[in-house]
Structure 1
Amino acid sequence: MATVNIRRDVSDPFYRYKMERLQAKIEGKGNGIKTVVVNLNSVAQALGRPPAYLIKYFGFELGAQANPKPTDDRWIINGAHDAGKLQDYLDGFISRFVLCKKCKNPETTVVIKDTRILLDCKACGERSEVDGRLKLSGFVLKNQPKKGKKDKSTKKTRRERNKEKAENGENGETNGSPGDSPSEGDENGDVEVGAHSDDEFTRRINAEAKEIEQDDEIDDDQWAVDVSEEAVKARAKELPDDLKRSLITSERHMKALLGGTERFVGKERPELIPQVPAILLAYYQEDLVSEEVLKSWGSKASKKYVDLPTSKKVRKAAEKFLEWLETAESEDESEDEE
């Protein structure tokens, strides 16, 4: 599905924050005509906001009735409205209810404090206030999530993370990175809404992963077949310095890096699939992903980031690297025994 920059005034193709382009379907006729926003849930998740906020904002701006609590996830606005017009209105929502007023970064959470709506920026630390005179501001204040209750748009991601932590024997503590999703109630009694999930971190990784693409003259077979130590070192030197930054701080982030790479290579740039062994080797050589996480990732396909057939295809391409990893470990053990 086509994506656009969350800030559409930014033309940089490597801008980190992406969302799906809005898709709308007009149904009915006459007085019963209505517009269904097909992918509202996905767009809302990319923005870190409940979809109810978006649909009500559209309703207010268009002067049309919009149901913020549909029973079947069919987000409907009365009347006929094309996707392009809705996308323009979405820019206004993003400017007013998502972007940090200081750094213009979309990595914010909504904090309700008394009768004020604040945007807490995880990038620069600024807390800026939303204009309380806006119609949607009244809706947000009247529809605060109860403490301890999670918004529907974030439940699935949180369940998946909790399951993953249980499987890995983690105690549930986080490193507090900008990609983590904070709870709705903090020690000050503030209520936070729509914090970014692991998918935000994955989107960052997707942007970083785009920089690993090599020049068109390089033979794909060279990347797919040659896994000698000399070849690995040579290719690692060609990687951009951005991939050597300290992005990865926990096992969860390592898995997110692999998931983001899997999505980028498997779905967006499938012509890079033959280069998967080289990509993984570079991650391994640069200590971005541990041997244990790489082996665990390679042992079983997953549909968390892509569909199952694509996941299997990417792991199939990684077999040469995984075999090399096993061989290297065996050789090290033999040397230790001698």
Structure 2
Amino acid sequence: MVGVVNIRRDVDDKFYRYRMPELLTKIEGKGNGIKTVIPNMSDVARALSRPPSYPTKFFGCELGAQTTLDEKKDRYIVNGAHQADRLRELLFGFIDKFVLCGACRNPETDLIIVKNKETRSEDIIRECKACGASTAVDMRHKLTPYIVKNPPTTNKKGKKGEGASSNGAHAVATNPNLPDAEGSEGDDDPSAAAESLPVESSLANEGWSVDTSEDAVKARVKDLSTKLQTTLIADEDSDEDANSPYSQLGQWAEANRDEVNAVEVYKHAQEMGIEKKHKTVQVLAQALFTKNMPSEISKFAPLFAKMNAQSEKHQKAFLGGLERLIGVMHPELVPSVPKILMQFYQADALEEEVIKQWGTHVSKKYVDKETSKMVRKASEPFLKWLDEADDDDSEDEE
């Protein structure tokens, strides 16, 4: 489930009026083609009343990376592998420079592009609907030329372009209310003056005011409950949901398994708020290992020892992940099943009783029945060793 954070990072009040979804990232590709996809950039940008291309381009400017903007597919990409925390920090930098009012620090602002009479250049102004102040954006930033060249506009037919009025940022040729703005013909004509004023954004008209009536509150609570239930179902049951935190964690782990260690993987899951979920170990079991798994286990065994210690459910989900990894993704590992189980058993990532129960009960929960039988059949030498070890212990006690 996507978290919600305050738009201003210096405000800790959980009841702060201006909030936005927490930025999510997903690593895709490998080698020179690796890239960071931002699946909820549109949602974040909508909360900021800015076009999604602006913060995406801001990331590219700050990181020295190329960006890809695909509005039709709602897909925003920054080349290279970038941690979510790093991009979230940069997002707050974008907010400070291009969203918050320079006078009252309120995010209810529109971007206005004006012609500077003295320099004959174009400036970007943050016009605040809260305090009425018009404060200038620092034009030295690398993003400003992009905003000037790609202003959010609405044509005469009302067709919205990128960052049109629904995004809350507007461009006008001149602004007669500012001292450095160039005047235009027809300033004395009321209709001409009206046309030069920025068009109110739909978000400004409907998003900043909240209906607090009893019926409205009940409706919002009902809507929130429905959305929450849908999200939890998607997270728990759908492996194909590309926006679920499990899918994102799997993509990240697969892309970074050679560079990260067990502690870093755990911290990343912790940042996503899913380090205690049993499905997390199932996903990591499939994402952190390759066909060379027997030689890779020692690197991540402490991670699974810590996470699987939470419950038998975690261990069973982990074994389910191993079934899929070995039986479906890398069938060449089937002969190595006893060695693999031995390593996790010795690392305290799996308990004896859980392994025995798993090895003697075929299940179709994670793979098809035939694959399940094949993997369990391969585990028989290890199960036999466990039984013999128990017999030896009994004889010693006698």
**TM-score interval (norm. to shorter):** 0.5 to 0.7
Q: Give the match for residue 219 of structure 2.
A: 262
Aligned ranges 1:187-198 → 2 under 5 Å? 187=194, 189=196, 196-197=203-204
Q: How does 1:65-84 map to 2 (within 5 A)?
A: 65-84=66-85
**How much does 1:144 deviate?**
1.5
Task: Provide the rounded CA distance (Å) in 1 between the counterparts of 2:161 and 2:204.
Answer: 12
Match of 1:123 in 2: 130
Q: Which residue of structure 1 lines up, in the alignment, with residue 45 of structure 2?
A: 44
Alignment of 1:45-60 (within 5 A): 45-60=46-61
Report the Cα distance in structure 2 between the residues aligned to 1:195 and 1:116, rounded to whole angstroms: 24
Q: Deviations over 1:266-286 (max 9, x none)?
A: 355x5xxxxxxxxxxxxxxxx
SS in 1 for 2:67: coil
Q: 1:182–1:36: structure 2 CA closer, same or farther, 3 Å change rule?
A: closer
State the SS of the aligned residue for 1:67.
Answer: strand
Q: Distance in 1 between matches of 2:41 and 2:218?
A: 25
For 1:259 and 1:66, locate their aligned partners in 2 and report how far apart those are by CA, in whole Å: 41
1:145 is aligned to: 152
Cα distance between partner residues in 1 of 2:169 and 2:79: 35
Compared CA separation, residues 146 and 103, structure 1 to 2 (3 A): closer
Secondary structure at the aligned position of 1:59 is classed as helix
Q: Using the TM superposition, give the Cα deviation of residue 201 of structure 1 relative to its aligned residue in structure 2, in angstroms.
A: 2.5
Structure 1 residues 21 and 74: CA distance shift in structure 2, 3 A = same
Q: 1:6 to 1:50 in 2, by over 3 A?
A: same
Q: Is the 1:110–1:192 Cα contact (8 Å) retained in structure 2?
A: no
The answer for the alignment partner of 2:175 in structure 1 is none
Tell me if structure 1 keeps the 8 A contact 2:111–2:170: no
Match of 1:163 in 2: none
Task: Write out per-residue CA displacement over residues 91-150 of structure 1, whole angstroms, 9 at most, x where no aligned residue.
Answer: 100000000001000000001112010000000000000011111111101112344253
Identical aligned pairs, as a percentage? 43
Alpha-carbon distance in 2 for matches of 1:126, 1:40? 28
Distance 1:140 1:307, change over 3 A: same
Per-residue CA deviation, residues 238-262 of structure 1 (Å, 9 max, x unaligned), is xxxxxxxxxxxxxxxx7xx955653
- For 2:163 and 2:150, how far apart are their aligned partners in 1? 15
143-152 or 16-25: bigger deviation: 143-152
Partner of 1:232: none
Name the residue aligned to 2:259.
none
Q: Give 2:68's aligned amino acid.
A: N
CA gap of 1:21–1:182, structure 2 versus 1, over 3 A, is closer
Q: Kindly indicate whether structure 1 or structure 2 has the higher relative contact order, using CA contacts under 8 Å at least 6 residues apart.
A: 1
Q: What is the aligned length? A: 200
In structure 1, C-alpha distance between the alignment counterparts of 2:31 and 2:169, rounded to whole Å: 45
Map 1:307-322 → 2, pairs under 5 A: none
1:89–1:191 Cα change, 3 Å: same
Q: TM-score, normalised by structure 2?
A: 0.45
Cα distance in 2, alignment partners of residues 15 and 86 from structure 1 = 22
3-state DSSP class of the match of 1:135? coil
1:105: which partner in 2? 106
Find the aligned partners of 1:193 and 1:28 in 2 and give their Cα distance: 41
Q: Is the 2:151–2:163 Cα contact (8 Å) retained in structure 1?
A: no
Gaps of 5+ in 2: 116-121, 173-192, 231-398
Q: Do the aligned residues in 1 keep the contact of 2:45 with 2:51 (CA within 8 Å)? A: yes
State the Cα RMSD in Å.
Answer: 3.2
Please tell me whether the aligned partners of residues 67 and 76 of structure 1 are also in contact (alpha carbons under 8 angstroms).
yes
Structure 1 gaps of 5+ residues are 159-180, 210-253, 271-305, 311-338
The letter of the residue matching 1:76 is I
Report how far residue 8 of structure 1 moved.
1.5
Contact 2:152 2:170 in 1 (8 A): no
Aligned-partner residue type, residue 160 of structure 2: K
